[in-house]
């Protein structure tokens, strides 16, 4: 009896195993094996092979895919390393070598030409009264140090930037490729290393001079009359007139921030900014720098040959009492109200000098 039960169980087990082995085969016959869909790169490769058979030497579709900007496969790790050709680069090149250089060059020619014509017609702005011989301190040693550090770094950046932007059209035809390559290399390295110094000086410049550059009601009168530079009319002003305040806020501050921020993006590409961001920063940097240089020409003109006594103020820190009264009457009146006495220009009898105020 027991042997018969054992044989029955074994026969049932054999039947189950037989069915288990037959069902997968039957299922494979009913549902054939389907491979996974090919990847997009495999499809492109297959399409290229088929196209070469039907349209030999037609590489246009291949280069359209290359110029699409879609990332490919590469062993190099980093941002945009899989992009062989970035199509936005052509737009950047067209914009930089087209409108930026054209209109920027016109701007840098028109502004100095207008300044020279104005100087030929008006001449240097002189004092109406003779100098008093008594000096008032206008700038401290620290203010002059910050100003000249910023000015020198600005001039280095301006000349090196002009050579890099316009050198291919001006220097290259005159001196050839060899000398131009050296000039371009020196300009690029000067620009890269002096740039951070200029950023640092701009920050110091802002905090050093911001106190005296807040707007006052009388500044609007100065703007309406153009400071009397054309009419010769006496227009009173504070320590800094409205023109100087426009330069401080529009040039030193606003344009200084724009060229500094965009310049740092270009100067330090190791923070994983892509080519698109650097191309945008390059255009912004170039346009802002062109406006900055054009505006600086007016500031340099009035601070040197355009106004009698202005250069002495920033070089030696002092101005004649008559100069202070005629050009910055409100500041002069404030010094008198605080009983600040001007010192004689001779060194035999030195007296207390007026200290500059930033109110």
Alpha carbon distance 40, 340 (integer Å): 82
Domain that holds residue 22: 2-68
Q: Are residues 257 and 203 in the same domain?
A: yes
Q: Is the pLDDT of residue 100 over 90?
A: yes
For position 233, which CATH number holds? 1.20.950.20
Q: Is the pLDDT of residue 303 over 50?
A: yes
User: For residue 125, is it within any domain?
Assistant: yes
CB count in 10 Å sphere of residue 144: 16
Alpha carbon distance 24, 5 (integer Å): 30
pLDDT at 346: 54
Q: Are residues 48 and 107 in the same domain?
A: no
Q: Are residues 49 and 135 in the same domain?
A: no
pLDDT digit string (tens) for 11-67? 554 454 444 444 444 444 443 333 344 455 566 667 666 666 666 666 777 677 766
Q: Are residues 36 and 100 in the same domain?
A: no
Q: Are residues 174 and 282 in the same domain?
A: yes
Q: Are residues 185 and 266 in the same domain?
A: yes
User: For residue 255, is it within any domain?
Assistant: yes
The DSSP line for 244-255 is HHHIIIIIIIII
pLDDT at 266: 95
Q: Are residues 64 and 101 in the same domain?
A: no
Q: Is the pLDDT of residue 331 over 80?
A: yes
User: For residue 346, is it within any domain?
Assistant: no
pLDDT digit string (tens) for 234-272? 899 999 999 999 999 999 999 999 999 999 999 998 888
Q: Could you tell me if 320 and 307 are in contact, meaning their C-beta atoms sit under 8 angstroms apart?
A: no
Which of 21-30, 53-62, 78-87, 92-101 comes out lowest in average pLDDT?
21-30
Q: Are residues 41 and 122 in the same domain?
A: no
pLDDT at 22: 45
Counted domains in the chain: 2
Q: Among 124-128, 293-297, 337-341, which range has the highest average pLDDT? A: 293-297
Q: Are residues 115 and 33 in the same domain?
A: no
Model pTM above 0.85: no
Listed residues 50, 68, 86: the one ending a domain: 68
Q: Are residues 192 and 51 in the same domain?
A: no
If you count them, how many residues does the chain have? Answer: 359
User: For residue 87, is it within any domain?
Assistant: no
Reduced to 3 states, what is the DSSP secondary structure of residue 320? strand
């Amino acid at each position: 009896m027991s042997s018969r039960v054992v044989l029955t169980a074994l026969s049932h087990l054999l039947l189950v195993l037989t069915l288990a082995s037959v069902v997968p085969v039957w299922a494979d016959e009913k549902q054939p094996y389907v491979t996974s869909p090919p990847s997009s790169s495999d499809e492109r490769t297959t399409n290229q092979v088929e196209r070469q058979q039907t349209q030999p030497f037609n590489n246009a579709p291949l280069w359209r895919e290359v110029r699409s900007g879609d990332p490919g496969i590469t062993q190099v790790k980093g941002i945009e390393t899989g992009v062989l050709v970035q199509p936005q680069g052509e737009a950047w090149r067209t914009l930089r070598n087209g409108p930026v250089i054209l209109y920027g060059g016109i701007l840098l020619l028109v502004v100095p030409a207008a300044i020279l014509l104005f100087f030929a017609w008006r001449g240097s702005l002189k004092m109406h009264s003779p100098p008093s011989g008594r000096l008032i301190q206008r700038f401290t040693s620290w203010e002059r140090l910050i100003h000249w550090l910023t000015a020198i770094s600005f001039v280095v950046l301006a000349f090196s930037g002009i050579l890099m932007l316009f050198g291919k059209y001006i220097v290259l035809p005159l001196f050839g490729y060899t000398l131009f390559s050296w000039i371009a290399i020196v300009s690029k390295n000067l620009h890269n290393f002096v740039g951070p110094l200029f950023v640092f000086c701009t920050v110091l410049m802002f905090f050093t001079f911001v106190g005296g550059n807040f707007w006052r009601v009388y500044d609007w009168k100065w703007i309406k009359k153009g400071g009397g530079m054309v009419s010769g009319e006496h227009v009173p002003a504070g320590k800094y007139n409205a023109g100087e305040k426009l330069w401080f806020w529009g040039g030193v501050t606003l344009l200084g921030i724009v060229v500094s921020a965009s310049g740092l993006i270009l100067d330090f590409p190791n923070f994983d900014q892509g080519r698109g961001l650097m191309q945008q920063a390059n255009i912004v940097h170039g346009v802002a720098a062109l406006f900055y240089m054009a505006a600086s020409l007016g500031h340099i003109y009035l601070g040197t040959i355009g106004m009698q006594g202005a250069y002495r103020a920033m070089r030696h820190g002092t101005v004649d009492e008559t100069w202070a009264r005629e050009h910055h009457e409100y500041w002069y009146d404030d010094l008198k109200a605080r009983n600040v006495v001007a010192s004689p220009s001779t060194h035999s009898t030195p007296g207390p000098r007026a200290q500059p105020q930033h109110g």
